[in-house]
Amino acid sequence: MKKIIIRLLQTIWVLIGFVALYALLGYTLPFIEIPAKKVSEPKTTEIFILTNGVHTDLVVPIQSPQFDWSKEVPFSNTVSKRTDFKYLAVGWGDKGFYLETPTWSQLKPSVAFRAAFWLSKSAMHCTFYDQMKEGKDCKKILITTKQYEDLIRYIRAKFDRDENGKLIFIPTKAVYGKDDAFYDAKGSYSFLYTCNTWANNGLKAAGQKAALWTPSDFGIFQHYP
């Protein structure tokens, strides 16, 4: 019995140490900045990073010479079905969080556990906007045509697709408003690769400032004061 108690206590201390290490790295590593790549081409494309206080979206223009997002992410999959939006915000995350957790108070331990340890599927959350209002939660970034093409490839690569190459729409009433929709995505969410890690890596793919690694939106936005 004594050995069992000792092992139990050891396990508890290991878990506490692991959580403490994760918290330490999650706070310190984001301060290490990956600088933006130097370019000679003009920066003519406007993108944004947007946070709701927890989750970071990458915001792109719906129409551009490089790509028409409305042909891949149909307006018709939203409740409003409007077709006059100018921007598309894209976020990647855990499917359970997106569809089963409208508010943090409704977070189920089972959903959190599956999300933390690679045990659930992921989804893309796509939201249409009329305009973007710059502020603490929304930062504008100007990038070159080549950088935007790289970002387009990065975002599109995360969507899961059917046998015909089309995005897999998720019919659900768990949308956040009248102008958003969910789609199946590739990869699994975890405490090491979160929604913010994905967005941060997107900035790297586009040659922009980013954190070395971050699980939080703070790790991204601190580099865009």
Contact 114, 61 (CB under 8 A): no
Range of the domain at 55: 32-221
Q: Within a domain: residue 213?
A: yes
d(CA 186, CA 82): 28
The pLDDT, as a whole number, for residue 100 is 72
The pLDDT, as a whole number, for residue 21 is 55
Tokens of 180: 């958003």
What's the number of domains the chain is made of?
1
Q: Within a domain: residue 2?
A: no
Q: Within a domain: residue 38?
A: yes
d(CA 86, CA 61): 6
Contact 79, 178 (CB under 8 A): yes
Q: Within a domain: residue 27?
A: no
Backbone angles phi, psi at 181, to 5 degrees: -155, 160
Q: Within a domain: residue 16?
A: no
The pLDDT, as a whole number, for residue 13 is 53
Q: How many CB atoms lie within 10 A of CB 141?
A: 20
Q: Within a domain: residue 11?
A: no
Q: Within a domain: residue 12?
A: no
Tokens of 87: 């921007």
Residues with Cβ within 8 Å of 26's Cβ and at least 6 positions away in sequence, in order, are 214, 215, 216, 219
pLDDT averaged over consecutive 10-residue blocks of the chain (225 residues)? 62 55 69 96 98 93 98 98 98 85 54 55 96 97 98 98 97 94 94 94 98 96 96
